[in-house]
Each structure stands twice: as C-alpha cells, then as structure tokens.
Amino acid sequence: MTQTKFFKDFSFDVSNTPCSLKYLSQYYLTKALNKFFNKIESNKLITENQIIGIILRVKFNDGSIKSISTLRKGTIKNKVKFSTLFKHLLNIRSDDYDSEEIKVLSIIFSYHIYSLDYKLNDENKDLILLSSEENTGKKKRKK
C-alpha cells in the first residue's frame, strides 16, 4: 500500500545570509510567499477560489525545524493576509530565538491544496483568513 503525504513542502533558502526571525519577517517572508504562490499558480495547482492550508516553519542553522504557525487556511486571494499573519507570528516568536548562534537558513511552507468540492463548515475555525462573505458564500448587504 502506498501512502500519499497530506502536506507538501516549499522551501525558500536564505542560507547565503543566515538571519534572525525578525530580519526574516522584514526582508524575506513576503518575497518567499510571492515565490510560493507564483509557483503553485503557474503550475496550475490551484484555482482562484480553491482553499489552501499552510503551516509556516523555519529551519535553523543547528538543523532543527520549528513550526511558527498552526495550519491556516485561505485562498490565493488572501496572500496579503497570510503575509501579515506570518510576519506577526515571526515577530512574536523572535524573542524565543533571539541569539547570535541561532540563525534561520530557510523558510518552509508546508501546504495542502484542498479539492474543489471542499466545503467550509463550523468545524473549520482555523479558516481565519477569509472574510465572513467568503466564508459563508453570502454577499454582504449594502446599506
């Protein structure tokens, strides 16, 4: 029996200039996210309204890999929201890894692209990146 991995990994290498989490947040995260989204879009792995789940992880120079976020879901239209959330999480976690010896070598996005028929329900509380209009499929009434 063959097993299929639920998550795939996309790595963005910064080993030429190992850096802190705070520096990573300021200078590399948006670039890495753009490269990631461009890759999955250009390879036609995802449609505009298809749900993607992403876990932000980083690889340190001691070989360890740490998860910075839990699974977060959204669509490719939520790229800015993913970026903002991940930057905040990197900045929060930067105090835990603030050291001259501990430097980040790469950003890893562990992701899963859900099927086109994937439906949202109340159990999907981790779908924070969608607006309530997108979440329910209902249009907001104009006042």
> What mean pLDDT is predicted for residues 9-22?
95
> What mean pLDDT is predicted for residues 13-18?
94
- Tens of pLDDT, residue by residue over 29-51, are 999 999 999 999 999 999 988 99
Closest CA to 83 of 19, 31, 9: 31
Task: List the CATH code of the domain at 8-132.
Answer: 3.30.1490.100
117: Cβ contacts below 8 Å, ≥ 6 apart: none
Q: Are 20 and 28 in contact (CB under 8 A)?
A: no
pTM: 0.83
